[in-house]
Structure 1
Amino acid sequence: MVLATRPNASTGIERYAINLFKAMREHAPDTVAFVDRRSTVLDGPNVIAVDGGFRGWLALPRSRAFRDVDCDALVCPAFPPSPLALLGKAPVFRIIHDDFPWTRGEAMNLRGRFLFKHCEAAMARRYGDVMAPTTLMADSLSAILHRPVGTIGNAPGIDLSLAPAPDRGQAQIIAVGTIEPRKNYDAVLDLAEALPAPWRVQIVGRRGWGPIAETWDSRLARHEARVEWHGHASDAALLGLYQSADCFVSMSLAEGFNMPLVEAASLGLPVVCSDIEIHRRVAPPWARFAPLSISAADLAAIVREAAATPPSAQDVAHYAHAFSWGGIAQALIGRIKAARAK
């Protein structure tokens, strides 16, 4: 497995790759991961440090570390493979999380468009298998890439068993995600102003791209009394914020899955989210759906109502059981075996 990891940072896609590798390591002990040697987010057995960055990615299939493994299948759960990987004997299994590069790629930088749009599209027909976390995204990617795309599933990005005991009732709202255009943080900031005191909004997510990221500091300054930005918080800090929140809010314009929503719901938070198709498929039964055109005042009313009616423990347990890394790892192993048997 080739994991896209960077020092002291990990996006939802990178978290997916890391957690899938950990599960694969349990179900298929000979699984190894190639990881940027500068990264501090993964250790333990079968982790192979390699040169990172663009040059390291491109040259990986020709590196001694890669050749010494002599792998039977190459899995890329976070990042497209180097084109040189297609020249090797091992089939490439690619997990693509979102159709964003093709449908809204203008918000990406030049390198991002090259790797995740043009390079990916050119290589996709030569992959041994292509998968997506949800059926909705698999259907969209299949039409874009002109090839079958399977559904592999998704699960929380952090270990929810490490969460502290809940401490709700503090009039706190939490929103989690990279600061980028799809997340629609303008709606979240407007919500913060529409909520009465002492309600506050906690935002967790690294600075991303687009106009929202470029003007983020000035936007925060206008809402500093009602909003606190935690940047790229540690897992422990994020779990603490989840457990002290009264409601999770996501007003995203589009998502490939929305891992933070699943994490929050699995911990029993009331959920208010935008009424988009992917949320209809992955949000919990107790979620409240808000149209993207909703006013800040109406959204504030829905949030307060949701926070006042938390889900039952039984409903939370049933929902959390549906998202398992072990199940995803077993599904991936099954697809690899099926492809090799052909």
Structure 2
Amino acid sequence: TILAFEKLWEEGKNINLVIVGKQGWFVDELIKKIKEQPLLNQKLFWMNSISDRYLDELYSVCHCLIAPSKGEGFGLPLIEAAQHKLPIIARDLSIFREVAGDYVYYFENDDNPAILANAIENWLNLYRKSKHPKSDQMPWLTWKESADQLVGLMVERQ
């Protein structure tokens, strides 16, 4: 994601990237890349330990959520973004499609930063015309549907 934004910044795009999340396993190279980025705290921001209240504030001021994850367990960030009526750009993963359907702008599941950069540009063009997929229209599961899915998963694994 950082490489995609670096490409966009080099092209003169005036956009910011806010990365939210604590430092986890196997991300030393990413952390190094963030800390060495000349635009850190100017166009690139890393929020590594924030409260739920501050996260809510971020959701209210951001233009979209980018979910570049290559492997996601459930897609919780997409659900949180949709609850905040935030548009979503996501890697084309089956779990994301299962959770968010057509209410997300998907980009090809490829590691080439140009693909994400192009997807962001295409999404921005749609956003300016208000033709982007809108997560605020995403249907929600009822508590019963959620419970039925959970029971189904538990039965499958027995």
Q: TM-score, normalised by structure 2?
A: 0.73
Quick one: structure 1 residues 307 and 204, their matched pair in 2 at CA, closer, same or farther if it must change by over 3 Å?
farther
Q: Counterpart of 2:20 in structure 1: which amino acid? A: V
Higher relative contact order at CA 8 Å, sep ≥6: structure 1 or structure 2?
Answer: 2
1:284: how far off?
4.6
Matches within 5 A, 1:129-168: none
The question of whether the paired residues in 2 share the 8 Å contact of 1:275 and 1:291 is answered with yes
CA RMSD of aligned residues (A): 2.8
User: Given the alignment, which residue of 53, 59, 79 partners 1:236?
Assistant: 53
Residue of structure 2 equivalent to 1:40: none
The alpha-carbon distance between structure 1 residues 330 and 275, as it changes in their structure 2 partners (threshold 3 A), is closer
- Deviations along 1:118-150, one digit per CA (max 9) or x if unpaired, are xxxxxxxxxxxxxxxxxxxxxxxxxxxxxxxxx
Please give the secondary structure, in 1, of the residue aligned with 2:81. helix
The verdict on how the C-alpha distance between 1:330 and 1:299 changes in structure 2, with shifts beyond 3 A counting, is: closer
Task: Provide structure 2 residue ranges, at least 5 long, that are not aligned to the other structure.
Answer: none
* 1:301 is the counterpart of 2:121: yes
What does residue 70 of structure 2 align with?
253
Secondary structure of 1:281's partner? helix
Structure 1 residue 215, shift from structure 2 partner? 2.7
Aligned-pair CA distance for 1:236: 0.6
Structure 1 length-normalised TM = 0.37
Matched residues, percent identical? 23
Distance 2:146 2:120 in 1: 39
Cα distance change, pair 328–255 in 1 and its aligned pair in 2 (3 A): same
What is the aligned length? Answer: 141
The answer to whether the 8 Å contact 2:5/2:117 transfers is: no
TM-aligned CA deviation for residue 289 of structure 1: 1.0
CA distance in 2, matches of 1:330, 1:279: 20
| Structure (1 or 2) with the larger CA radius of gyration | 1
Q: Does the 8 A contact of 1:288 with 1:302 survive in 2?
A: no
Where structure 1 has 5 or more consecutive residues not aligned to the other structure, the ranges are 1-187
- Offset of residue 278 of structure 1: 1.1
- Please say if residues 272 and 306 of structure 1, whose CA atoms lie closer than 8 Å, have aligned partners that are also in contact: no
Displacement, 1:306? 4.7
